[in-house]
Structure 1
Amino acid sequence: MDALTDPHAITSLAALDALYAEPSELVRKKVAPQLDAPTRAFIAASPFVLLGTVGPDGPHVTPRGDAPGFVEAPDDETLILPDRRGNNRLDALRDILVDDRVALLFLVPGAGETLRVHGRATITTDPALRARHVAQGKEPTSLLRVRVTSLYMQCAKAVIRSKLWAGAPRPAELPSMGALLEAHMKGAVKGEEVDARLPVTYAQTLY
């Protein structure tokens, strides 16, 4: 069954908007144009990121993982992702040669919130970068250089519902959701106030 045969299919923005409440002001304004110190700390703590691309064969989502800090943020506008050994399908890399838009989802074990980053990627074999990202004595064959265009934090509801990190402690040094939002929104919200509200918000809106 598809949209042509499903009488309950949603086929317009107006119909979709009618189903859901308006997003809060915080949700609308939390998008930032570049990295900042708390965001870079979150990325440095992440051992796992999902890379979304789109190409002639459609969309792909591929996992990227290594020791925390394997994704480098040399400045507030750039991310460097080493391409570790895989199956050589190269779905994401082939996509990027056609359409350089990418989406990244960073996860940190024990942390409910996730970081979503959007940008434009190029593939590089820069010798200095390859040497800087050696792991287990091996250089990556190539790396992605991502120019960040926007980012924002995703709340913890999905991780809480899934019990993904059940029993895993949150890293003590990891910036809180409130601290990240305060940085992204240039002080328009107070991190301590956001953090104080979150437990009640999650309890009331998880389902």
Structure 2
Amino acid sequence: MDPHTITTLAELEALYATPAAPSLAKEVDYLHPHYRAFVEAAPLCLLSTVGKDAAECSPRGDAPGFVQVLDERTLLLPDRRGNNRIDSLRNIVADPRVGLLFVIPGINETLRINGTARISVDPALIARCVVESKAPVSVLVIHVEAVFFQCARALLRSRLWDADTQRQRNELPSNGEILAALSRNAIDSAAYDRELPERLRTSLY
């Protein structure tokens, strides 16, 4: 084994200083009104799950408030249209533990929520999530177990919101180019890229 690999909690804790009081005080097991404000302002959250075979993290986004607060310990997250891989949902069936990271444009602090989720097809809950007359196939009902804000350091270091750090999409391989390479040209790169904008426009919901 690599002698530089940390394998025990004792070794890990010896590397880091004891957390300062604010780092511990910020965590609660319910959605305080101040934290609720972050959830309701966020147009994007990252959903992490863990299943029998793999951990997974994927983005969830819509207009601010798309993650609904049912009460101080319950959130409702619609499963909007996607690629039908349902990786996150497969994991939740196997293991209900989830983590969410809420991101608000222009704000360097993020909000972290840990808890458990269940997949529901309750018509009343789905009806709450209808957008442009389109209903999600299912919704996640998330039980909140821990909530705390993440300090601004990561986003400050990344300069995520700075205009001069924004990249043009054509600086990186296109979706079509990636798919063509991985499928050994079974997927037509040019056709995929040409049709993608319209496909996205008509399939958001």
**Cα drift, residue 29 of structure 1:** 2.6
User: Is 2:70 aligned against 1:82?
Assistant: no
User: Is 2:146 aligned against 1:150?
Assistant: yes
User: Is 2:159 aligned against 1:159?
Assistant: no
Residue matched to 2:68 = 72
Alignment identity in percent?
53
Q: Provide the C-alpha distance between the structure 2 equivalents of 1:113 and 1:81, rounded to a whole number of angstroms.
A: 21
Unaligned stretches of 5+ residues in structure 2: 164-205
**Structure (1 or 2) with the larger CA radius of gyration:** 2
Residue matched to 2:189 = none
**Cα drift, residue 64 of structure 1:** 0.5
Aligned AA (1:57) = D
Residue matched to 2:134 = 138
Aligned AA (2:122) = D
Residue matched to 2:167 = none
Q: Provide the C-alpha distance between the structure 1 equivalents of 2:34 and 2:93, rounded to a whole number of angstroms.
A: 31
Deviations 1:82-105 (A, max 9, x none): 000011111111111111111110
Give the alignment partner of residue 42 of structure 2, picking from 42, 46, 55: 46
TM-score (norm 1): 0.76
Q: Provide the C-alpha distance between the structure 1 equivalents of 2:10 and 2:82, rounded to a whole number of angstroms.
A: 43
**Paired residue total:** 164
Residue matched to 2:5 = 9
Q: Provide the C-alpha distance between the structure 2 equivalents of 1:16 and 1:9, rounded to a whole number of angstroms.
A: 10
Residue matched to 1:96 = 92
**Helix, strand or coil for the counterpart of 2:156?**
helix
**Helix, strand or coil for the counterpart of 2:108?**
coil
**Cα drift, residue 126 of structure 1:** 1.3
Deviations 1:11-42 (A, max 9, x none): 22222222211110111232101002121111
Cα RMSD after superposing both structures: 1.4
Unaligned stretches of 5+ residues in structure 1: 168-207
Aligned AA (1:9) = T
Q: Provide the C-alpha distance between the structure 2 equivalents of 1:100 and 1:19, rounded to a whole number of angstroms.
A: 31
Q: Provide the C-alpha distance between the structure 1 equivalents of 2:63 and 2:148, rounded to a whole number of angstroms.
A: 23
Deviations 1:133-183 (A, max 9, x none): 11222100000000111111110000000001125xxxxxxxxxxxxxxxx
**Helix, strand or coil for the counterpart of 1:96?**
helix
Q: Provide the C-alpha distance between the structure 1 equivalents of 2:12 and 2:119, rounded to a whole number of angstroms.
A: 37
Q: Provide the C-alpha distance between the structure 2 equivalents of 1:95 and 1:16, rounded to a whole number of angstroms.
A: 28
Q: Provide the C-alpha distance between the structure 2 equivalents of 1:12 and 1:132, rounded to a whole number of angstroms.
A: 46
**Helix, strand or coil for the counterpart of 1:26?**
helix
Q: Provide the C-alpha distance between the structure 2 equivalents of 1:145 and 1:46, rounded to a whole number of angstroms.
A: 18
Task: Give structure 1 regions of 4+ aligned residues with deviation exceeding 4 angstroms.
Answer: none
Q: Provide the C-alpha distance between the structure 1 equivalents of 2:125 and 2:8, rounded to a whole number of angstroms.
A: 46
